[in-house]
Amino acid sequence: MLTVTSPLAGRVVSLENVSDPVFAEAMVGPGLAVMPTAETAVAVAPLDGTLVSLHPHAFVVVSDDGRGVLVHLGVDTVQLNGQGFELLLRKGDAVRRGDGVVRWDPKAVEASGRSTVCPVVALEAMVDALTGFPDEDGTVASGDRLFHWE
């Protein structure tokens, strides 16, 4: 079993409530989202593994057993062309759960008219493979469990 933790502090949101249909309809996989509560935040690795994809607005960590988790910082944030985001690591880096990956400014994202909700998605997972979700609309700290991946 793989435990996936929250990349940032915030309020738990069901993926179905994310405004982007790619996430809301779980097209890339099931998971949860987190609405950040901090004005500036460092998104951290939600598991141990390798940073296989890294963009200012999103990253993917793949575990040693090949399971990938996508962290997407806000919705439609690719359109910001990296403004308000600072990469702290490089693609290909090994990461430990809790390592800082991207520093970003949720308030600036919000001021640009975009949602700051952060989907955390188990790529290519089956919905029933995820368990142990926290209460929806509850809060999590950075590093708190979001779900188990059986």
- Shortest CA distance to 51 belongs to which of 60, 40, 42? 60
Which helix (H) or strand (E) segment holds residue 65: the answer is none
CA distance 46 to 118: 12
CA distance 80 to 136: 29
Joined tokens for residue 101: 């990956």
145: helix, strand or coil: strand
Q: Which residues are catalytic?
A: 72
| Maximum distance among all Cα pairs of the chain, rounded to whole angstroms | 39
